[in-house]
Every structure is written in structure tokens, then in C-alpha cells.
Amino acid sequence: MLYLSLFSDKKERVLQTQMLMVTTAEIIRLFVFPILGAILMFVLQPTLYQNQMIRLTDVKKIDQWLANGYYPPATLVFGCAIFAALVWCIWNTMSPPPSNMASRQRSVAWWVLSLIPIFSIAGGVFWSRKAVLGDTNGSDMATLTLIFFFAIDVLLLYWLTTATSTPGLAKYLPPGASLFRK
């Protein structure tokens, strides 16, 4: 276990140590889930399009669509989900232990932070649907699959990461965290 201490007074240090206790497993999960998400988003999902397991009949050059209509929105969703998860975990590492009222407020903060990756899904789909690309490479047929894939990605990158890696006394605050934590 890794212990962090920010105060010099012994009683405050003991409390701070208990509250900022970050396990090695939490740190490992904070890296593992983004790596798995990157493999899923940038290797497996594009392969489904390239091998035509998911057919896009309105796209003539699938490699060009992937380069312009898939990878940039996927990067946006990936970055926003990782950013939100890191903000949540760092904030809970540096904050005092939550009281009952503070727990409710932090739960609301978790939901507010979840809007970042959710809005990035909308932005990514908007990007892919010709809004930015013009009429040359966009795909209307990819919309549903992109929404589905990006929703799965956000569940892995934001929800599962925060549910399993939130440190200290706030570890049960993300929805469903009790399913993964002892």
C-alpha cells in the first residue's frame, strides 16, 4: 500500500494517511483499464470495420473513413473519458474524507464529470456524420455503431475505472463500485 501525508501534526497525519491510502491495485487498475480501452478503441473496433464485419455501404474507401471519420472522434472520446476519470481519482485522493453530506455532493460531482465523456460521444458522432468532414468521407450508416462502441468505451474508461480505482474512503461513491470492491 502507498500512503500519502500532507500535514505535519501527528493526529492530522494519521487521519490524512487513512483518507489518502491508495492501494497498489487501485493504481494498477488506473493504468490497466485505459490500456484495455485503447486496444479496444484503436485496434479491435476499427478491425471490425476494415474486415467488413460491420458493413458501411455508404463509404467507398474504408481506410480513408477510418483515418478521418473514426480515429479523430475515437481519440476525442478516449481523451475525455480518461481526463474525467483522472480528475475524479486525483480529486478524491487529495480531498478530506467525505461526510454524509459530502458523499452526496461527491456523487453528484461524479455524475457531472460523467457528462464530459458523454458529450464527447455526441461530439464524436457529430464529427463522423459529415458535420466536420463535409460530404466526402462521412458515414450516416456508422452512427449507431459509433454510439454503441463509444458508449461501451466510456463504460470501460470512465465508469469501470472510477468504480474500481477510486481511492480511500470515497471508493464506494461511483455507482456500482460496491460490486467490485470489498
Phi, psi (degrees; rounded to nearest 5) at 22: -120, 120
Residue 7, pLDDT score: 45
Asked if 156 contacts 36 with a C-beta cutoff of 8 angstroms, the reply is yes
Q: Are 166 and 20 in contact (CB under 8 A)?
A: no
Can you give the pLDDT at residue 1?
44
What pLDDT score does 21 carry? Answer: 63
Q: Which of 110, 180, 111, 120 is nearest to 149 (CA)?
A: 120
Q: Are 74 and 45 in contact (CB under 8 A)?
A: yes
Listed residue (85, 80, 82, 72) closest to 125, CA to CA: 72
CA 172 – CA 106 distance, rounded (Å): 11
- At 97 the pLDDT is 74
Tens-level pLDDT at each residue, the chain (182 residues): 444 444 445 555 555 554 456 778 888 999 999 999 999 999 999 999 999 999 888 888 889 889 988 999 999 999 999 999 999 999 988 887 777 778 888 899 999 999 999 999 999 998 887 644 565 556 778 889 999 999 999 999 999 999 999 888 888 889 999 898 87
Q: What is the pLDDT of residue 12?
A: 57
| 49, 66 contact by CB (below 8 A) | yes
> What is the C-alpha to C-alpha distance for residues 139 and 10, in angstroms, rounded to an integer?
61
* pLDDT given at position 135: 56
Q: How much is the pLDDT for 4?
A: 47
Alpha-carbon span 170 to 96, nearest angstrom: 10
Question: Rounded CA gap, 160 and 174, in Å?
Answer: 9
- The answer to whether the CB of 78 falls within 8 A of the CB of 150 is no
Handedness of CA 43, 46, 48, 51 (dihedral sign): negative
Question: pLDDT at position 6, please?
Answer: 47
The C-alpha cell at 84 is 474525467
| pTM for the predicted model, two decimal places | 0.84
